[in-house]
A = this chain, B = another copy of it.
């Protein structure tokens, strides 16, 4: 240890110098002594792979830059490859090549891991190298390490989180400022919280990738992105937001991974939910992320912090870089935590929840009873019924009313049958909407 030591530095290659990569480069280049003290060996940044050599990059020696990323990761002398280009290809091939050439890998790439975590973990394990990815879920919030290590002597039963800051910002605006989805999205885009093409965020795909990673880790199994039930926030109406508020709830996009009661399978889902203001996740506002974990021994735990942004994400990446570099120095690799159970993902119909169902009816005598009978005939019992009259010119006897019904907890399959039946009933006068409810 110490600058005077003769031990060779550890060689690091960085792939990508964008929002996150540029911050990682800054820390590695600006803090060599501190990092050396923490690792016990010096880090040497040997190359940075980018797409475009002409972009000016503050604080980075142009000689470090290359567009030959494949050549960089195949050098054969690398200790650590930090992948921060994102997307599936070429990131996937580059990470595989890095592992094949004996480098440990740190990545923040949730899209890649949601598809390939299992195979990449096995490849790393076979090569005796590390694969760390703390930044891939919830940015700066330490959640991967707590799941892989801190809670590994416990039985996790549920992981539920707000893992997408863009949608959390939009929903906040809808709830607090009574904006429509479109208006809130436009504001988020103007402020740079949402991208020009917001699909991955607002349709829940980004959250679904993170849910797949969390579910696999929490339940020691393999879950891929396409197995995750996913519903976005684009269809949420102002009426639903107002109804949630009346019920003491807010609306959040939740990513949930839950063990079924027999622990034989897992439910993994992303959807908007009415969250009771008494639930700790309800208070997590703006672009922050939060993850709530329930386990047999530890009970409820919650982790809150910045879910994205260059510097916060770089903090998580650098924690991994130091950890894998320490392992390198000692000639070892961390535990890869490969899945040892096969717990299939159960269909969403087997999921149990409370539901909020809303639709218009023609308020004739007996209609409420007929609605209630539809729920009852499928074994779904009602917890709260909201009824409000709509402005109209019709006779006093047959004016339209809006019904909002919160059920007790029930299987989603039963609720689907209720919805189908309501959609066909002649006394139902509008689109039937459903939202799941949490913590009520």
Measuring CB to CB, which residues of chain A are less than 8 angstroms from any residue of chain B?
23, 27, 34-35, 37-38, 134, 140-142, 145-146, 149-155, 220, 280, 283, 295-306, 311-312, 314-323, 326, 330, 332-333, 335, 340-341
| A321 partner residues in chain B, CB cutoff 8 A | 153
Q: How far is the CB of A296 from chain B (nearest CB, A)?
A: 8
Pair B301/A140 contact, Cβ less than 8 Å: yes
Q: How far is the CA of A93 from the CA of B43 in the complex (A)?
A: 39
The smallest beta-carbon distance between A235 and chain B, in angstroms, is: 32
Q: Known interface pairs A149-B323, A319-B153, A322-B153. Does A312 touch B340 (Cβ–Cβ under 8 Å)?
A: no
CA–CA, A321 to B150, complex, Å?
10
Chain B residues closer than 8 Å to A151, beta-carbon distance: 142, 315, 319
Given A150-B134, A220-B38, A302:B300 Cβ within 8 A: no
Q: Give A288 Cβ to nearest chain B Cβ, in Å.
A: 9
Most buried by B among A37, A145, A153, A321: A153
CA separation between A301 and B303, bound complex, in Å? 7
Residue of B nearest to A139 (CB): B298
Assess whether A297 is in contact with B326, with CB atoms less than 8 Å apart.
no
- CB < 8 Å neighbour of A37 from B317, B332, B340: B340
Q: Are B35 and A322 in contact (CB under 8 A)?
A: no
**B27 lies within 8 A of A315 (CB):** no
How far does the Cβ of A80 sit from chain B's closest Cβ, in whole Å?
A: 12
A282 → chain B closest CB, angstroms: 11
Known: A27-B153, A150-B145. A312 touches B297 (CB 8 A): yes
Q: A146-B146, A305-B302, A340-B38 are in contact. Are A152 and B322 (CB under 8 A)?
A: yes
In the complex, which residues of chain B have a beta carbon less than 8 angstroms from the beta carbon of A149? 145, 319, 322-323
In the assembled complex, the Cα of A47 lies from the Cα of B38 at a distance in Å of 37
Q: How far is the CB of A255 from chain B (nearest CB, A)?
A: 19
A79 to chain B: closest CB distance in Å? 15
Inter-subunit contact B340/A335 (CB<8 Å) = no
Q: How far is the CA of A326 from the CA of B125 in the complex (A)?
A: 14
**Which B residues are in CB contact (< 8 Å) with A142?**
142, 145-146, 150-151, 301
**What are the 6 tightest A-B residue pairs by CB atom distance, in nearest-first order?**
A153-B318, A142-B150, A140-B298, A297-B315, A298-B315, A301-B305
Closest chain-B Cβ to A400's Cβ sits at a distance in Å of: 41
Determine how close the nearest CB of chain B comes to the CB of A19; give it in whole angstroms: 13
